Amino acid sequence: MSIYAFVAIIVIVVVLSFFNEKVTKLPNEIALMLFSTVIGVFTVIATALFSGADILEQAQLMDIEGFLLEGVLCFMLFAGSFRMKLADFKAQARQITVLAFVCTLLGAVFYGLLFYGASLLFGAGLSLPVCLMFGSIIAPTDPIAATGILSKFGLPKNISFLIQGESLFNDGVGVALFVFFSGMVTSASSGGFFAVMLQEVLGALLVGAAVTAVCFLMFRFSKSRMTRIFISLLAVSLSYSICELCDFSGAIASVVCGILFSALRSRFSVEEPDDARSFDGIWETLDALLNSFLYVMLGVSFVRILQMDQVVVLALVAITANLIARVGSLSLSSLIMGKIPDGYSRFNFIKLLTWGGLRGGLSVALAMSAKEMVPEEIYFIILGGTYAIVFFTTVVQGLTLKPVYRRISRSVQGNAQ
């Protein structure tokens, strides 16, 4: 990212955040994406009318894939996961595991089959492996949206933890599925889903745990507040980098690093209260800044889909298939996940997690990485469909999730009585 792009994005972040604080008062992540999308659309229109320059082409140069996968994703995941408590995870390990693994796999397959059927109906000419690859792109829920947006709605503790746990751990599953299905698309040998998962997950667990253990020794015996911050930055970035070099899941390693750091800090109580608050505050600020950058980049570059033919039909098909696939995968997964927390019935649980299944930057980054695997027209279908789902789940579902939750909550309370 050039210094000019950085300055432009930080200006948009500050202006939109201030406007939202004083006027619209929406969840900040939703406001940033919504208003930056409006800015992008008006910029395209104004440029086309007055200068004729191809701003659409310039918008495509915004490297979200590089920003996420080669830049800040590990820090975002660490910031979200170090607020999770290991004891809470143990209490819901079965539920989170089923949602992160089984539900993500089923969601990818269901979506792929639905989109393949729509492709046959509308004559789009997409093969089944391509549609399954598309399903793996949009199957993982977004940890950034989950921790940034959902946490503001006052969800019950256990349900909130379950949603965050699913979104934090299913990134690696989504990446493994993408590797497997993209191998089918390119006729390359991917080693099979379970082999990929074994490598992605176990390797990430080992690397994350080992690097965190070594770094926490320095953290524990350091007396400097700033040095401890630097050590935490080193732990997560080193874990992520090693995993990327070894073809493990850097996302899962970052989550493991965050959870272990939280557990070790709690157990050994190595910080004074002021230092602990400072540590948490710095990571929360960094998380908020990186989130804001990401949502502005997604919003401004949303104009990508304007160049596509039949964009409305594509968006409707993609969004509808996503909702149906999410309901189907949750319905089957809920049968084997054990007790549903906070007194939720299976029906209310499925409703809440369907509408709370927000998608974000990882899906866009995976869609972009498919560019070299498929013809250009199919690539734009995948990219356009992904953008439509990300925008709909973040803005529409995100804005309406609070009243949906309140309605479900009243139903839960009524059943309890």
User: Of the candidates 411, 26, 353, 3, which has an alpha carbon nearest to the alpha carbon of residue 170?
Assistant: 353
Query: Higher confidence at residue 157 or residue 211?
Result: 211
pLDDT at 51 over 90: no
pLDDT band at 16 (very low <50, low <70, confident <90, very high): very high
Mean pLDDT, the chain, as a whole number? 83
Spell out the domains of the chain, with CATH numbers in brackets. Answer: 3-416 (1.20.1530.20)
* Average pLDDT of the segment spanning 101-118: 95
Q: What is the pLDDT of residues 260-317, one digit of tens each?
A: 888 888 888 777 888 888 888 998 888 888 878 888 887 877 766 666 667 788 899 9
pLDDT at 59 over 50: no
pLDDT band at 56 (very low <50, low <70, confident <90, very high): very low
* Average pLDDT of the segment spanning 2-17: 84
pTM of the model: 0.79
Ramachandran category for residue 399: left, alpha or beta (phi over 0 → left; psi -120 to 50 → alpha): alpha
pLDDT at 53 over 50: no
pLDDT band at 61 (very low <50, low <70, confident <90, very high): very low
Q: What is the pLDDT of residues 111-122, one digit of tens each?
A: 999 999 999 998
Q: Do 76 and 365 contact (CB within 8 A), yes or no?
A: no
Residue-wise DSSP of 145-205: HHHHTGGGGT--HHHHHHHHHHHHHHHHHHHHHHHHHHHHHTT-----HHHHHIIIIIHHH
Query: Higher confidence at residue 120 or residue 43?
Result: 120
Cα 64 to the center of its chain, rounded Å: 13
What pLDDT shows up at residue 80?
72
What pLDDT shows up at residue 60?
46
Q: How many CB atoms lie within 10 A of CB 392?
A: 19
What pLDDT shows up at residue 307?
63
Q: Three-state SS for 73?
A: helix
What pLDDT shows up at residue 82?
76
Residue 77 CA to residue 145 CA, distance in Å, equals 11
pLDDT band at 349 (very low <50, low <70, confident <90, very high): very high
- Which residue reads 């899906």 in tokens? 363
Residue 346 CA to residue 339 CA, distance in Å, equals 9
Give the least confident one: 182-186, 212-216, 283-287. Answer: 182-186
